[in-house]
Structure 1
Amino acid sequence: MGREGGGGEKGERGGERGHRDLCPYYCSYYRRRLSEQLAQTPSSFRKDPEDPSAVALKEPWTEKVRRIRDVSPYGHLPSWRLLSVIVKCGDDLRQELLASQVLQVLQSVWQQERVPLWIKPYRILVLSSDSGMIEPVLNAVSLHQIKKQNPVSLMDFMVQEHGPQTSEGFLSAQRSFVQSCAGYSLVCYLLQVKDRHNGNILLDSEGHIIHIDFGFILSSSPKNLGFETSAFKLTAEFVEVMGGPDGDMFNYYKLLILQGLIAARKHMDKVLQIVEIMQQGSQLACFHGSSTLRTLKERFHMNQTEDQLQDLVQALVQGSMRSLTTRLYDGFQYLTNGIM
């Protein structure tokens, strides 16, 4: 019995060693298969030596899941699931977490009040004061990458992706664009989101605009210069996609901002509570100065009538459309960082 037991134990250990010896082989094998599948994946984006990830940027997430599952040694398991994360090191993600929590509140408020604004909060996991993980936005590319790969206007790109301007596909994408642009316009105004270059604004496969990177909000701005003075980013290309400043969809955009602000101020305390809790004893740059909470509260305009709010929205939109600092900041980002 002792000899049989010893033999069995030896066999198990030998098996373990065998698996360990084969592990490098299997890892190399599956890496090669993944690389071969990626090379065969069709993409309308050209290879960019400065950004290798751009090769597969337009690969739908469902296709990516299928491709990787096909070559995974565990792909046959019913519980198999592919998760995508961005690992950050050297960055404090607590401001990102604050912005994400506020976006979740606003999203819930607008759904509750039946205002068809669209925003996409993404999950943040803070691991330490200088590390964490971010949930990537799937099926989306940055406006910078679009402009770099397609030397056409945003309107032309939308037509390429969704069809002629009178087609059902384009009209659906245009509505998605307007609803998301209005949602993020309000977010940027309330939270004073800065650093809005085209690398921090995405466009997804359904036409939604998605803002990422909330490293400069409330009282903070790049280099603390406060250079971006507009309430939100509203370029001529955005307005063109909406059908021009005299179009019905542009009027719909302004109406959505008004309805969203009216709904948000009903639940202002929920937003203020989150910010106030994060501010307690915090050294975050977004809480620089003593007036952060007060000025945030002022941007809800609790003392104004709905008619006065309508005039306010009109002024915010007109000011953002004509903003010189928005154009200058985009130019600065292009000259210094190559962001188009």
Structure 2
Amino acid sequence: MRIGIAALLLVMFVSACQSAGQQNRYEVIYAMDKNEAVASPGQSAHEEEPRKFKIGVVPKLVEIPYFNLVEEGAREAAAQLGAELVYRGPPIADTVQQIRIIEELMVEGVDALAVSANDPEKLLPALMKARQQGIQVITWDSDTYREGRDFFVNMVDDEKLGRHLMDTLAWNTGEKGEFAILTGQQKAATLNEWIKWMKVQQETYYPDMKLVEIAATDDDPQKAYETAKRMLAKYPNLAGLIGNSSVGPPAAAQAVKEAGLTGKVKVVGLSLPNLMAPYLTDGSAQVATLWSPKKLGYLTVVLAVRALAGQPPEDGVMLPNVGIIRVNGDVVVMGDPVDFTKENVNQYDF
């Protein structure tokens, strides 16, 4: 899905005349409605081109569609901003490998680290070490503890999303019956925050529904599929499944379809419209919800570069190709999610 909002024109300048011991200060200037770059006041034509910022972006894992799209957006932003991007993640959602990658990037001299945390507690020492070395550390997609990063780039408001996911299932099950949740990494802070609000919404508004199990899939499509099959066998009265990581809903829908339970067991959750289109169309899934992963990758790199240039996130700022961001303390919220159903899923391509 194309997300262009305004053309992004950027120029970065560095003062050649600074006092001893003072670091170079970069200024990022967005010329929103101009056809050429605009220099900041007081700059001379003889100033040198600045070195590129080096940004290390670490996903939970690589080579699944969601994180592939994040990489596309991150690379697009880096190219437009003149930054060097290193996008590197483990082949599976493994915290030990993520820590190793973070340590490698520190040795390679990145200016900023942007991490989607598999395990907030285990990653904390490595992230704090990076901050002590003067590296800008931000989290995106999945947060860590606050002392381990400068700010968190969240896709959506956690409470709003968790409550909404519960609503989408309840609306499709007649607000009654047993349900289960397929999550990603068991200790992923953001996923657990969504689950917390799903539980609150169910307990408050849907007393005739019962949560029977929460199972971690480690963001592995095969494991998600096997887990969904097991749940269908274990809970013969299951009314619905919620997947809160991108591999969960398509795996659950495939299991429901193969079990001959299409229309009986409802499937909702977070996933890409391209992955969910066949299941939404044939009725083995009812609702998929998501944001643009590509825009998330783009925003993460933009905010990293701006922070390095001395421009921390500000509430209500309009960013080209992203839109207006919201900032609450040290958390940036990209925007609101979109629901995909059989009626509208073919309007989206990601």
TM-score, normalised to structure 2, is: 0.27
- Which structure dedicates a bigger proportion of its chain to strand? 2
TM-score, normalised to structure 1, is: 0.28
Bigger Rg, structure 1 or 2:
1
